[in-house]
Amino acid sequence: MDVTIVIDEESRHVINNNKLCTALKRIGVKFIPVSHKDLEKVFVSLEDMGFFEDIKPSKYRVFMDTEELLYKNWPTPLVRLKNLSSSDRTIWAKLEGFNPWSMSVKDRIGWYMYREAIEKLGKDRVSLLVEATSTNTGLAIAAMSAINKSKLKAFVPSTVSKTGEILLKIFGAEVIRSPKLLTVELINDVEEIAKKEGAIHLNQFYNDANFEVHLRYTAKELELQIREAGIKPKAIVGGLGTSGHISAISFYFKNRFKGVKIYGVVPAPSTSIQGIRRVETGMKWIHFVELDNIIEITPEEAIEGVLEIVRNEGIFVGLSSGAVYTAFKKMVKDERLGEGDYILIFPDIGFKYVEQISRSIDKE
Ligand code: PLP
- HEC per residue, 16-39: CCHHHHHHHHHCCCCCCCEEECCC
What pLDDT shows up at residue 38?
Answer: 65
Establish whether residue 108 lines the binding site of ligand 1, counting it when its CB lies within 6 angstroms of any ligand atom. no
Above 80 in pLDDT, residue 35?
no
Among 218, 272, 276, 291, say which to mutate for ligand 1: greatest number of ligand atoms within 8 Å of CB: 276
Q: pTM for the full model?
A: 0.95
Residue nearest to ligand 1 atom 5, measured at CA: 275
Q: How many CA atoms within 13 Å lie on the side-chain side of 322?
A: 30
What confidence category does residue 26 fall into, taking pLDDT thresholds of 50, 70 and 90?
Answer: confident
User: Average pLDDT over the chain, rounded to whole?
Assistant: 93
What pLDDT shows up at residue 172?
Answer: 98
- Residue ranges, CATH 3.40.50.1100, the chain: 72-98+214-363, 106-201
Q: Which residues pair with 245 in a beta bridge?
A: none
Among 136, 217, 278, 352, say which to mutate for ligand 1: greatest number of ligand atoms within 8 Å of CB: 136
User: Which range has the worst mean pLDDT, 5-19, 48-62, 284-298?
Assistant: 5-19
pLDDT in tens, 109-131: 999 999 999 999 999 999 999 99
| Distance (Å) from CA 9 to ligand 1 centroid | 47
Q: What angle do CA 27, 32, 36 make, to 5 degrees?
A: 150
The CATH architecture of the domain made up of 72-98+214-363 is 3-Layer(aba) Sandwich (3.40)
pLDDT in tens, 138-165: 999 999 999 999 999 999 999 899 999 9
| Distance (Å) from CA 209 to ligand 1 centroid | 15
> Do the Cβ atoms of 222 and 260 come closer than 8 Å?
no
Sign of the dihedral through C-alpha 230, 235, 236, 242: positive
Establish whether residue 76 lines the binding site of ligand 1, counting it when its CB lies within 6 angstroms of any ligand atom. no
| Distance (Å) from CA 137 to ligand 1 centroid | 9
Query: What is 106-201's CATH topology?
Result: Rossmann fold (3.40.50)
Establish whether residue 322 lines the binding site of ligand 1, counting it when its CB lies within 6 angstroms of any ligand atom. no
| Distance (Å) from CA 351 to ligand 1 centroid | 16
What pLDDT shows up at residue 305?
Answer: 98
Ligand 1 atom nearest the C-alpha of 204 is 14
> Do the Cβ atoms of 233 and 226 come closer than 8 Å?
yes
pLDDT in tens, 195-246: 999 999 999 999 999 999 999 999 999 999 999 999 999 999 999 999 999 9
Establish whether residue 348 lines the binding site of ligand 1, counting it when its CB lies within 6 angstroms of any ligand atom. yes
What pLDDT shows up at residue 1?
Answer: 59
